[in-house]
């Protein structure tokens, strides 16, 4: 049986552009892709695919729908067969039509994680040590026992090997616990020990409600980190998971709005008090993957981060990711020292509504801060304000909203729109819209859905670099000196580059694609697709210089964007240093622009 949760997971992970692109030569036009309709056999670019909304539409024959409707209409499949086809192309396993489920390659990991979740809950409710954690949740955090049980919270006792010893009784091997991130090793310890000790435990679930990892909150007063998460594993990837969506995604869709909070406790506290359209990144800055996941459920968001300096930095960075994913963010300003949990704990749902109702669009919030700090009253201040505000404009995928933002920047700084447009033509920072191959183009196409189709986009820097390295792995050590894994904005390309580096640096076999065979199936298929790309890259040395320069330039832009955001919340004495660093980065960016093919980024080349 294919459950509704599994169907939602397949829908969320599927790449409609890639699936349609197997039959249709799609070209990017604005935020959509256009090509001839495969359903009625048309020749004009009347068939539109919208990757952000996950839908297609032919403006001649009128056919349209989502990622499942496409194979149903094209191949005459029923709904379940269409789901299976899309799941296969997405790399997600689904049960066979028989009652027997498919073999799950991660069955041992899942069993270990389920055991751990049950064990942590037992420690909370059935042990002496767990009483303190109960008091913390029920007395200090004012949560009902029903709410604590609903979110399956637990407790990891302050012992080195409590979980490990309990698991061994159930014949769960150390190797499995290690792969699940539940125990770890240290050079100072003779045996593996529990990852989580003396912590309140928050199980983290996938869209199907299966435990994939944990977050742990320290209850002691020592110097330990307040929160730690499970390490990345075959099932758990921190930057791709949003806590709570297994509970809240239906409410988010219903409200057409997602409240983004900073942590586990904010999520639990709000959800327990009837505010259900909530989601939380896992203790890190909101990532591109997390933003695009949220965009599947809502196109509007409220950011409820702390209002201190760190919170404002996180707010503006999260807003840029959301804008790039097509989600319109507004900022909720909370009183100093307060967070969503403390507000609803003291005054209930209505107390938070007061601040939510006063939320400002992220651009207006930035302008508000600049005005209060006096930036907009001096020439130098206005120049700095332009940099800070344009970082938000650059991130905005919605064309109409982008134009509104440009008008606002012109209104508050007095800088002409044509001048702002020239500044915006520079390569975008690291968060970027995907091109036809999932790449981040240097400059977005601003066409509308009804404009003539644009020429096929050139290969992006990341894809072009991987083509070179896959064809000639001997280049990897030289590129490794200039390009870090984190410099890739596209998650799949980042993982492929990491595997290439590790394979080459460790001296593993470089026979064809042997290095990629340990990658997950969808990534391996992406590598095979890259290896089969017919694009001819003449003069590889010059091409290599060009793409490395583009990646370095994008890294500089990203750093400048971060510094501009930092200036919004920095003290006056720190602003001088930040302005100096921004000037240095501008000079580096200018120097990169003068680099010509064949003039050596790499020592010893030529």
Q: What is the pLDDT of residues 560-603, one digit of tens each?
A: 877 877 777 777 778 778 888 888 888 887 777 654 333 333 33
Question: Which residues contact residue 403 at a Cβ distance below 8 angstroms, ignoring those fewer than 6 apart?
Answer: none
Contact 2, 94 (CB under 8 A): yes
Task: Tally Cβ neighbours within 10 Å of residue 43.
Answer: 7
Residue 450 domain-assigned? no
Residue 456 structure tokens: 């096929």
What's the CATH code of the domain at 282? 3.40.1360.10
What's the CATH code of the domain at 125? 3.90.980.10
Contact 274, 251 (CB under 8 A): no
Contact 291, 279 (CB under 8 A): no
Residue of 260, 307, 269, 256 whose CA lies nearest to 287: 260
Spatial separation of the C-alpha atoms in residues 175 and 167, rounded to whole Å: 12
Q: Which pLDDT belongs to residue 97?
A: 55
Range of the domain at 22: 4-90
Residue 98 domain-assigned? no
The number of CA neighbours under 13 Å toward the Cβ of 98 is: 4
Spatial separation of the C-alpha atoms in residues 72 and 66, rounded to whole Å: 10
Q: What's the chain's average pLDDT?
A: 83
Average pLDDT score over residue span 288-304: 91
Tell me which of 358, 381, 399 is where a domain ends. Answer: 358
Q: Which pLDDT belongs to residue 448?
A: 33
Residue 128 domain-assigned? yes
Spatial separation of the C-alpha atoms in residues 132 and 111, rounded to whole Å: 28
Residue 102 domain-assigned? no
Spatial separation of the C-alpha atoms in residues 29 and 35, rounded to whole Å: 10
Residue 101 domain-assigned? no
Both 229 and 260 in a single domain?
no
Looking at the DSSP bridge assignments, the partners of residue 218 are 199
The pLDDT tens digits for 517-576 are 777 777 787 888 888 777 777 677 778 888 888 888 878 877 887 787 777 777 777 877
Q: Which pLDDT belongs to residue 23?
A: 87
Looking at the DSSP bridge assignments, the partners of residue 64 are 57
Residue 304 host element (H or E): strand 300-304
Both 490 and 574 in a single domain?
yes
pLDDT at 459 over 60: no
Tell me which of 236, 260, 281 is where a domain ends. Answer: 236
Both 471 and 413 in a single domain?
no
Residue 575 structure tokens: 């602003």
Q: Read off the pTM.
A: 0.65
Q: Which pLDDT belongs to residue 177?
A: 97
The pLDDT tens digits for 352-410 are 999 999 999 999 999 999 999 899 999 988 988 998 899 899 999 999 999 999 999 99
Both 264 and 173 in a single domain?
no
Residue 318 domain-assigned? yes
Both 230 and 349 in a single domain?
no
List strands edge to edge, sheet with 211-218: 154-156, 199-205, 211-218, 227-229
Q: Which pLDDT belongs to residue 594?
A: 52
Number of structural domains, the chain?
Answer: 5
Both 202 and 302 in a single domain?
no
Both 350 and 383 in a single domain?
no
Contact 578, 570 (CB under 8 A): yes
Contact 214, 197 (CB under 8 A): no
Both 189 and 304 in a single domain?
no
Both 207 and 267 in a single domain?
no
Percent helix / strand / coil, the chain, rounded to 5? 50, 10, 40
The pLDDT tens digits for 202-245 are 999 987 788 999 999 998 766 788 899 999 888 998 888 999 99
pLDDT at 188 over 70: yes
Task: Tally Cβ neighbours within 10 Å of residue 576.
Answer: 10
What's the CATH code of the domain at 579? 1.10.860
Residue 449 domain-assigned? no
Average pLDDT score over residue span 84-107: 73
Average pLDDT score over residue span 411-419: 93
Tell me which of 314, 340, 358 is where a domain ends. Answer: 358
Q: Using DSSP, state whether 515 is helix, strand or coil.
A: helix
What's the CATH code of the domain at 17? 3.90.580.10
Residue 456 domain-assigned? no
Both 119 and 219 in a single domain?
yes
Both 593 and 477 in a single domain?
yes
The pLDDT tens digits for 28-44 are 888 889 999 988 777 88
Both 275 and 327 in a single domain?
yes
């Amino acid at each position: 049986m294919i459950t509704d949760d599994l169907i939602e997971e397949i829908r969320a992970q599927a790449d409609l552009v890639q699936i349609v692109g197997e039959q249709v030569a799609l070209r990017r036009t604005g935020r959509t892709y256009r090509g001839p309709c495969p359903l009625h056999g048309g020749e004009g670019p009347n068939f539109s695919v919208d990757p952000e909304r996950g839908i297609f539409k032919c403006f001649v024959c009128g056919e349209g729908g989502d990622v499942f409707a496409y194979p149903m209409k094209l191949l005459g499949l029923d709904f379940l067969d269409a789901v299976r086809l899309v799941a296969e192309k997405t790399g997600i396993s689904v049960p066979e039509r028989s009652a027997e489920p498919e073999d799950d390659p991660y069955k041992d990991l899942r069993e270990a994680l389920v055991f751990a979740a049950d064990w942590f809950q037992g420690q909370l409710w059935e042990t002496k040590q767990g009483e303190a954690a109960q008091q913390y949740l029920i007395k200090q955090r004012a949560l009902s026992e029903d709410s604590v049980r609903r979110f399956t919270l637990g407790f990891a006792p302050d012992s080195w090997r409590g979980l490990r010893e309990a698991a061994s009784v159930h014949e769960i091997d150390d190797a499995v616990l290690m792969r699940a991130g539940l125990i770890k090793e240290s050079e100072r310890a003779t045996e593996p020990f529990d990852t989580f000790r003396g912590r309140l435990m928050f199980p983290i679930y996938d869209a199907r409600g299966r435990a994939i990892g944990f977050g742990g909150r320290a209850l002691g007063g020592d110097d330990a980190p307040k929160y730690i998460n499970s390490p990345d594993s075959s099932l758990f990837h921190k930057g791709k998971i949003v806590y709570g969506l297994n509970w809240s995604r239906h409410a988010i869709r219903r409200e057409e709005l997602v409240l983004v909070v900073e942590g586990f406790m904010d999520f639990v506290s709000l959800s327990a008090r009837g505010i259900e359209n909530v989601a939380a990144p896992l203790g890190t800055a909101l990532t591109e993957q997390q933003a695009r996941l949220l965009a599947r459920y809502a196109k509007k968001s409220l950011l409820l981060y702390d209002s201190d300096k760190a919170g404002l930095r996180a707010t503006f960075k999260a807003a840029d990711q959301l804008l790039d994913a097509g989600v319109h963010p507004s900022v909720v300003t909370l009183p100093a020292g307060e967070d969503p949990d403390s507000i609803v704990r003291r005054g209930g749902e209505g107390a938070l509504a007061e601040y939510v109702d006063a939320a400002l669009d992220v651009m207006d919030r930035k302008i508000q801060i600049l005005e209060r700090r006096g930036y907009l009253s001096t020439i130098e201040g206005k120049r700095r304000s332009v940099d800070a505000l344009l970082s938000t404009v650059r991130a905005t995928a919605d064309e109409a909203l982008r134009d509104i933002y440009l008008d606002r920047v012109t209104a508050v700084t007095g800088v002409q729109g044509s001048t702002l447009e020239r500044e915006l033509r520079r390569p975008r920072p690291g968060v970027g819209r995907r091109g036809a191959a999932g790449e981040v183009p240097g400059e977005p196409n601003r066409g509308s859905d009804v404009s003539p189709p644009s020429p096929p986009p050139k290969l992006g820097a990341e894809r072009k670099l991987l083509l070179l390295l896959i064809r000639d792995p001997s280049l990897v050590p030289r590129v490794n000196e200039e390009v870090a894994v984190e410099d890739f904005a596209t998650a799949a390309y980042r993982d492929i580059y990491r595997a290439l580096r590790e394979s080459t640096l460790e001296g593993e076999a470089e026979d064809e694609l042997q290095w990629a065979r340990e990658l997950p199936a969808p990534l391996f298929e992406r590598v095979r697709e890259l290896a089969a790309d017919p694009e001819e890259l003449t003069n590889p040395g010059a091409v290599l210089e060009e793409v490395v320069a583009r990646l370095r330039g994008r890294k500089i832009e990203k750093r400048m964007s971060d510094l501009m955001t930092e200036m919004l919340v920095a003290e006056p004495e720190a602003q001088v240093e930040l302005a100096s660093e921004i000037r240095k980065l501008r000079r580096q960016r200018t120097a990169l622009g003068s680099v010509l093919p064949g003039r050596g980024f790499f020592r010893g080349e030529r």
